[in-house]
Structures are given as structure tokens and as C-alpha cells.
Amino acid sequence: MSNHEHDFIQACMTVLRGNQMTSNGFRYTRPAPHVYEQQWLWDSCFHAVAYRWLDPAMAWDELRSLLAGQVKNGADAGMIPHMVYWQGGGEALWGHDKHSIITQPPLIAIAALAIYEKTGDSTPLYEFYAPLCAYHEWFMRRRDADKDHLVSLIHPWESGWDASPRWDVPMGLQMPTDEQSKSARHGLVATLRDADMDMQILADKGSFCVETADFNAIRVADLEALAQIALIIGESGRRWRDEAKLACEVVRQRLIQTDNDGNMTICDLSGSAEMPIITPSASQFVLLFGGCLSPEQAEKLVNRLQSSAFWTPYPVTTTPSDHPQFDPAHYWRGNVWLSVNWLIWRGLRRYGYHEIAHDLVARTLTLVKNHGFHEYFNPMTGDGYGPSQQSWTTVILDMALTENLA
Ligand code: GLC
């Protein structure tokens, strides 16, 4: 290991260790001190894939604590909340002291499999399998009212892309200010509570209810991972493999539109009427992660990814730079996020685009080395925004070590 590599690994571990918490005997990593003190679902999955290289026990613990937050009773039994309040404090917003009432992208089976692949230790998979099955059963029971194998989000926070222009239309907003967009998201929580988070009631009311391409593609990949975990621990897993195939097929048929000239558009479907919403964003590239594209479709998408609209000086911008709403300095309005880059990087590798994947990691590594472990970045200048010690930015470690680049 070179000195550079050693120093960079140490820098990542310093961020993660600095944000580590222990509560009720459970260990987890908060996304960033002061700003994000709770445990967050998809953040913890990214932390786990970073930890797997250096501290596998902590990688498993990160997921173990997340699963400990699973909802035990009521209509939402099985859901893994997007925020677990280990120290309490959730009551005023959510009506629950210890957790939120919505979820986030399901990456837990994927993260668990990634730790297993690195360590060869299958023991925790026996413990995780039942709660992971319950989580996916919850999706099918509570988020697929029309049984079309596409699950719906009932709040933009569930996507992880909180303030993205993707949500302006389904949130009934037009060119919102940060404040307007934030207050709409907070206001929506009361609507969710009134409807007891029932997606059918919410859709009938015209509340935010969206089947998104990226979330559904992530779900497909997580179902595949769950099926693999099943085989590792001697279960059949057939059910999950079948559901993954079906869901993948529906993503392909319903969320990818191709016109007579062969132009391909990826859309999300909004409301009971399943109105297509087409707001260009990097979320379309997450279809690569779920394996939801034919090789020809993947090629088209990868060409688009490499266009200057997305392949900015620091790729990948989440809103294309030629979009009227592109705003490189504002939260989710046109920034680079390591969470999204990790998904795209894995998707590129899945489809055999190894050189582009490698290049993406090299550029992302330069970004983090030169600008720090910020929450998100300006895709033009590399300037970092949000907390400077954001835990999930250390997922660069997984990318760089896999690509032999650290
Ligand atoms: C922000 C992000 C969300 C993330 C959370 C904690 O709310 O939009 O995706 O999970 O911060 O880092």
C-alpha cells in the first residue's frame, strides 16, 4: 500500500469514526454531526459498504442497528424507517418518538451481500434474512396498491433526492425557492399522518404518490441480492428472484418510452392516473444498477451520460446542466452526490462499461481529495456544500479500492 493510499484510507476512517454512535448497545454512524444526528437508511448502507474494507464488524453493526429500527406493529409492520431516532425526538414531526413514518431506497440486502462478498462471513445473513423478507413484504403489501409490481413513494424524502426538480410537478410547485420546497415537504408529513400512510388514500386525494424508475430499479437489485442471500443460507429465495424479474420487466415496459425515431425517455408515473413525469435527471442512469435495460438501451443511456449535460467537469450532475432549473449550488437542484455516483458506477460495471466506470471513480476521487468529504458538490467547480464531514462521502473508498485507484 502506498503512503497516499494509506493516508486516504485513514482520512475516510477518521470521518466515519468521528460520526460513530452507540445507543442501547447498538452501533451506527450518523450522516454528519449536528446536522444529521439520527440514523438514516440509505446512508447506513453506504457507510456499511465503506466499512467492509476496513472494519467488517462495524459494517455488520451498521446494518444490524438499521434492522433493529424495523417497525414491529400496525399497518406498516416490516417497514424500515428512513430515520431512526436512537435518542428519541421524532414525536413532533412524525408522531413517533423513535422513528420516521416513511422509508428510503432499499439497499440493505445489497449492502449485506457486499459485506459477505468481502469477508466470506455468512453468519449475520441468517439473522438478517427474516427482517429483510419482512421489509420487502411490506413494500408489496403497502406500496403496490395496484399490484403492478412497481412500488410508490409517498414523500420526496423517500427517494433520497429531497428537493430535486423531479418533484416540483408532483408536489404542485413551480420554480420553488428553497424555503417553499422545504415547507411543502414538511407540510406533506401531516397529510401522510392523516391518511395513516395509506398510499391508496393518498393517491385518491391527489397527494404525492409516484412510481419512480430509480427507486424501482434499486428495489429490483435489492430483491436480487435478497434471493442470493437466501441461497447462501440454504433457503430457496425463488419468490424474491421471481418478483425481481417481474418488477424488472415492468420497469422496462412501463417506465422506458421509445418514440418512432428511437429516442428513449425514462419516466416516473404519478398519481392514480399514472401520469408520466419526465424531468431529465441522473436518476435515469440508476436503471443500469437494477439491470432494467437491454444492451441497446444501456448503450443509449451511457452515451447520454457522457454528454456534457451530465458529464460535467465533475460528473455526474443530478440535474443536467442544460436544464432550465439547473442550479449547481442549490441542494439537489444540480449537484454531485456520492450516493448517486456509487449507484451509477455499479450500474456501469454491471453492463460492462468498465472504462467509463473507472473514469467516473477517478474523477470522483479527485473531487473528494481536492474538496473534502462534503455532503454534495458543485459539478462545475467542485466546491463542496453541506457538512464537511459527511459519512456517506466515504463510499468513495469502496469505489476507489475496487478500481485500484486510492
Ligand atoms: C439529506 C439527503 C438524504 C440523506 C440525508 C442524510 O436529507 O437528501 O438523501 O439521506 O440528507 O444524509
Distance CA 366, CA 359 (A): 11
Quick one: which of 391, 302, 401 has its CA closest to 38? 391
**What is the best residue among 19, 29, 36, 332 to mutate for testing ligand 1's pocket, by most ligand atoms within 8 Å of CB?**
36
pLDDT on residue 406: 79
Q: How would you write the pLDDT of the chain (406 residues) with one tens digit per residue?
A: 788 888 999 999 999 999 999 999 999 999 999 999 999 999 999 999 999 999 999 999 999 999 999 999 999 999 999 999 999 999 999 999 999 999 999 999 999 999 999 999 999 999 999 999 999 999 999 999 999 999 999 999 999 999 999 999 999 999 999 999 999 999 999 999 999 999 999 999 999 999 999 999 999 999 999 999 999 999 999 999 999 999 999 999 999 999 999 899 999 999 999 999 999 999 999 999 999 999 999 999 999 999 999 999 999 999 999 999 999 999 999 999 999 999 999 999 999 999 999 999 999 999 999 999 999 999 999 999 999 999 999 999 999 999 999 7
Nearest-atom index, ligand 1, CA of 159: 9
Nearest-atom index, ligand 1, CA of 82: 10
**How far away, in angstroms, is 85 Cα from ligand 1 center?**
15
- Compute CA distances 248 → 149, 214, 290, 301, 318, whole Å: 9, 11, 8, 17, 23
What count of Cα atoms within 13 Å lies in the side-chain half-sphere of residue 64? 18
Nearest CA to ligand 1 atom 12: 31
pLDDT on residue 2: 80
* 281 secondary structure, DSSP code: -
Quick one: which of 306, 323, 318, 325 has its CA closest to 379? 318
Residue 94 is placed in which grid cell?
A: 412524525
pLDDT on residue 324: 94
Judge whether 251 and 287 are in contact, CB under 8 Å: yes
Spell out where 268-387 has E strands.
268-270, 275-277, 376-377, 384-385
382: left (phi over 0), alpha (psi -120 to 50) or beta: left
**How far away, in angstroms, is 143 Cα from ligand 1 center?**
21
**How far away, in angstroms, is 57 Cα from ligand 1 center?**
24
Q: Which residues of 309-323 are buried (b: 16+ CB within 10 A; e: fewer)?
A: bbbbebbbbbbbbeb
Residues with CB under 6 A from ligand 1: 31, 36, 40, 42-43, 160, 162
